[in-house]
Amino acid sequence: MAVPRESIAARRERTLRIIDALRVTYPDAHCELDFTNPLELLIATILSAQCTDRQVNIVTAGLFRKYRTAADYAQAPLEQLSEDIRRIGLFRNKARNIQSCCRQLLDLHQGEVPQNLEALVALDGVGRKTANVVLGSAFQITSGIVVDTHVQRLAARLALSRASNAVAIEQDLIQLVPRSDWILFSHWIIWHGRRRCGARKPDCAQCEISSLCPGRNPSP
Structure pTM? 0.92
Per the annotation, the verdict on 148 as an active-site residue is yes
- The single residue of 148, 181, 201, 203 carrying the catalytic annotation is 148
Instruction: Give the fold, CATH level 3, of 38-139.
Output: Endonuclease III; domain 1 (1.10.340)
| Closest C-alpha to 81, from 89, 69, 66 | 66
What is the model's pLDDT at position 41? 98
| Closest C-alpha to 134, from 161, 148, 159, 116 | 116
What is the model's pLDDT at position 220? 37
Alpha-carbon dihedral of residues 192, 193, 194, 195, nearest 10 degrees?
A: 40
Distance, in Å, from the CA atom of 131 to the CA atom of 124, rounded to the nearest integer, reads 11
| Residues 6 or more apart whose Cβ sits within 8 Å of residue 83 | none
Q: What is the DSSP letter of 201?
A: S
- The single residue of 53, 84, 94, 129 carrying the catalytic annotation is 129
| Closest C-alpha to 150, from 134, 169, 126 | 169
| Closest C-alpha to 105, from 72, 143, 59, 137 | 72
Domain borders along the chain are 8-30+147-212, 38-139
Give, for all 220 residues of the chain, the pLDDT tens digit: 345 578 999 999 999 999 999 999 999 999 999 999 999 999 999 999 999 999 999 999 999 999 999 999 999 999 999 999 999 999 999 999 999 999 999 999 999 999 999 999 999 999 999 999 999 999 999 999 999 999 999 999 999 999 999 999 999 999 999 999 999 999 999 999 999 999 999 999 999 999 999 877 444 3
What is the model's pLDDT at position 7? 93
State which CATH number among 1.10.1670.10, 1.10.260.30, 3.20.20.10, 1.10.10.10 fits the domain covering 8-30+147-212.
1.10.1670.10
